[in-house]
Structure 1
Amino acid sequence: MKKILVINSGSSSIKFQLIKMPGEIVVASGLVEAIGLDNAALHYKSKKMNFFEIMPIENHEVGLKKVAALLLDEEKGAIKSIEDIDAIGHRVVHGGKDFSDTIVIDAEVKKTIKRLFSLAPLHNPHNYTGIEVAEEVFPGTTQIAAFDTAFHQTLPEKAYRYAIPNKLLDENYIRVYGFHGTSHKYVAEKAKDFISKKKSKLITVHLGNGCSITAVKNGKSVDHSMGFAPVNGLVMGTRSGDIDQAIIFYMVNTLGYSLDEVSEVLHKKSGMLGLTGYSDLRIIEEKAAEGNRECQLALEMNAYRIKKYIGAYAAVLNGVDAIVFTAGVGENSSVLRKLICDDMSYLGIELEDYKNNVRSSENRIISKETSKVLVLVIPTQEELEIAKDTYRLIN
């Protein structure tokens, strides 16, 4: 059995799991959330104990060092020494044209990940920090990178190309890369348990602080809402999703924004935050229930955008067997799932309200028995998917 530590450094959080492979036994797990705020939270769970503490966590480096200290702690920890870790698997968002599969990290891989910062500014820098800190805390341990873009390498050319001059693809590699691939791949595989036929047409909906939707045909990604960088597509926590590109020219040429300021707005000040002042959907739902019109409208806009993509991908797939909701918001927000699925009977989508309102960590059906399209909630396990790939490389 190999012990693999999986580190998933997101835009404002760090998820981690210590997993024994190939048995898929989780020895320890946890979450650092709300990084950068005074009320950041550290969750930790092992066979020995559960641990939770509210504390200021300035940045990802501080958070990762606290995680390492917990794993090695004599009382709370799950390992006796750093030698107990056989490999560390890192989630890396953008692999560009360079990486189509999981890979052992060396100096050249790190250099490329760093070069891709501009394509995923909310993620790749934090992913890179995770690698750097892990190398410092666990020297000599094999480090593995698993890329969110890898699952979407199966996109057909008609889907991944933009209608721009050919040389921008041929010379500059500007194309759709796609993201959240580890999550979409995992839930698409799990959805097979609910579908009797061998061939399947799925629409997987990953809703968290970052959001994306994928058309999956027979286990392969064939279309995806994010593109060259993870800012377009659905409405997200702080990212705009789809906008008319002419707005960028208007902001620069007429309103006087610099390009860096436009990037800051679209990546960090837009989405649900820009619409409501909040990026946490739990708070937005609470405010909406209290009658806050801005929050109500933001939820409606969020759901409306997802509906449009579901319709488009049903056309791309020529039908759909199941819609799968996953990730923090997709798994837990019955409000948003209902807004999305309401008035979709033309496509054969019928939500069962009492099933939708049940909170559960189980893979489950939330559609009516009469629904022609299954509606599923499947909690994503990106860390387990990364552990599988990591084990494959070191074994």
Structure 2
Amino acid sequence: MSDTAPDLVVAVLNCGSSSIKFALFDASAGLQALPRRPWWGGKVLGIGGPAPRLQTQDGTDRPLPLGDAAPYHDALAAILAALRERLGSTPLQAVAHRVVHGGAAHAEPVRVDAGVLAELRSYIPLAPLHQPFALEAMEALLQLHPTLPQVACFDTAFHRSLPQVEQMLPLPYSAWERGLRRYGFHGLSYEYQSLVLPERHGAQASGRCIVAHLGSGASLCALQGLRSVATTMGFSALDGLMMGTRCGALDPGAVLYLMEIEGLSLHDVGQLLYHQSGLLGVSGRSAEPRELLAHEADDPRCAAALALFVRRIVREIGALVAVLGGLDLLVFTAGIGEHQAEIRERVVQGLGFLGASLDAAANAAHAPVISAAQSTVRVAVEPANEEWVAARHALRVLAATPGAA
């Protein structure tokens, strides 16, 4: 990485409840030649905790004192200061934000203003782990730098290609009319796969493809013609696969029971489903598969959590295969999908009925293609790159905005 700042730079922010990831992309050569790796970036960890830190990709790792009154705002100010120091006199062209929920109104990225912010606040109940923090960052930047273009990039937008039968919930039709529907999430991740898979897999990528985004949040997306045709997350980011701390698909009767018979409040149920379930809840030890794998031989709950995690993935892949009418390509991405060979092996073992099998050495090496020569399904590993997709969207929105910087 050159120490000299590029002529044109776009920043991307990915804001969570206790962390903010940031990346700078060299936009000097324009949209079509935007490098896939950031020129510089980093993250602030531990926001709201006792020991927040600033880490950057060039090796910085230092404590970051934040005030008690508005630690998130202070963290953003610290990031902006780090960006200014790194960029010198080079101005930011725009800031792109990953926004989890765009609702029914947004099928494309949008320039942020006060009206957009107000609208997006209404979706906070649908994505409480992420939505409020992205909006807080946008609002803070509007106050600090009102002329700096900001672009909201929505995780739900990629799934607007879902057929109506995949969007509808089996509730009274008036719910559909009010906007209660299956939206789907992790769309920036799946959009990246739709762009890069044809480069590596050719025409096979345009066939019957399932991408498994397996991280602390997890979902599957069925692609056909590189478009989303079915996905496991629905109205909220609680649906579908079992996750690190989230339950995934759950019988609504269990929620009614928890509230009516066990007396849990609405807040208590929300905390249980979002923060105390999934791998952490079942194992009682950790939300991280790596740690559970290290203890499954001597801890039955760790073994049970891993078995349930894999079973839910296999079961949902089977359902998506039925929708697609078969499977040509299975792609693993995100933290677990890219780095946990044992989880990939167990999932593919469960798909043996499809004729899927792995090359053990390729899987252990996290190779781009990990299926065995005789496998009837190509199995691949592809890194996630949501930040690059967001940076592309920001440049595209700027180009379409009259008078934009």
TM-score of the two chains, using structure 2 as the length reference: 0.89
Choose from 156, 164, 180 the match for 1:149. 156
**Structure-2 residue corresponding to 1:50:** 59
Offset, 1:344: 1.8
Q: 1:184 aligns with which of 177, 181, 190?
A: 190
Larger mean Cα displacement after TM superposition, 143-152 or 122-131: 122-131
Cα distance in structure 1, aligned partners of 2:208 and 2:52: 40
Going from structure 1 to structure 2, the CA distance change for 1:98 and 1:298 (only over 3 Å counts) comes to: same
Question: Structure 1 residue 18 and structure 2 residue 24: aligned?
Answer: yes
Residue matched to 1:306:
313
Name whichever of 279-288 and 246-255 sits farther off: 279-288
**What amino acid sits opposite 2:398 in the alignment?**
I
**Are 1:213 and 2:217 counterparts?**
no
2:288 pairs, out of 276, 280, 293, with 280
For the Cα contact (< 8 Å) 1:38–1:56, is it kept in 2?
no
Deviation at 1:212, TM superposition (A): 0.8
The partner residue of 2:199 within 181, 193, 198 is 193
**Equivalent residue for 1:268?**
275
Choose from 325, 329, 347 the match for 1:322: 329
Shift of 1:67: 2.1
CA offsets 1:254-278 (integer angstroms, 9 cap, x no match): 1111122111211111111212232
Q: Give me the whole-angstrom Cα distance separating, in 2, the residues matched to 1:232 and 1:374.
A: 27
CA distance change for structure 1 residues 144 and 18 in 2, over 3 Å: closer, same or farther? Answer: same
Give me the whole-angstrom Cα distance separating, in 2, the residues matched to 1:131 and 1:286. Answer: 41
Whole-angstrom CA distance in 2 between matches of 1:368 and 1:143: 45
Amino acid at match of 2:181: R
* Aligned residue identity for 1:117: I
Question: What SS does the aligned partner of 1:316 have?
Answer: helix
> Structure 1, residues 294-315: CA drift from partner, whole Å, max 9, x if none?
1222111111100011111111
Unaligned residue ranges in structure 2 (runs of 5+) = 1-6, 400-405
TM-aligned CA distance change 1:378 to 1:124, over 3 Å:
same
| Offset at residue 34 of structure 1 (A) | 5.0
The match for 2:41 is 29
Task: Name whichever of 50-59 and 133-142 sits farther off.
Answer: 50-59
Against the structure 1 CA distance between its residues 320 and 111, is the aligned structure 2 distance closer, same or farther, given a 3 Å change threshold?
same
The corresponding residue for 1:117 is 124
CA RMSD across the alignment: 2.0
Structure 1 counterpart of 2:77, which letter? K
What secondary structure does 1:369 align onto?
A: coil
Partner residue of 1:296 out of 294, 299, 303? 303
Task: State the alpha-carbon separation in 1 of the partners of residues 230 and 275 from structure 2.
Answer: 26
1:124 to 1:242, Cα distance in 2 relative to 1, 3 A = same
Distance of aligned partners of 1:324 and 1:61 in 2 relative to their CA distance in 1, 3 Å threshold: farther
Mapped contact 2:366–2:381 kept (Cα < 8 A): no
State the SS of the aligned residue for 1:266: helix
> By how many angstroms is 1:101 displaced?
0.7
Q: Which region of structure 1 is more displaced relative to structure 2, 194-203 or 345-354? A: 194-203
Aligned to 1:127: 134
In 2, the alpha carbon distance for the partners of 1:154 and 1:31 equals 33
Question: SS where residue 15 of structure 1 aligns?
Answer: strand
**Distance (Å, rounded) in 1 between the aligned partners of 2:61 and 2:362:** 30
Runs of 5+ unmatched residues, structure 1: none
2:398 aligns with 394
Query: Match for 1:212: what amino acid?
Result: S
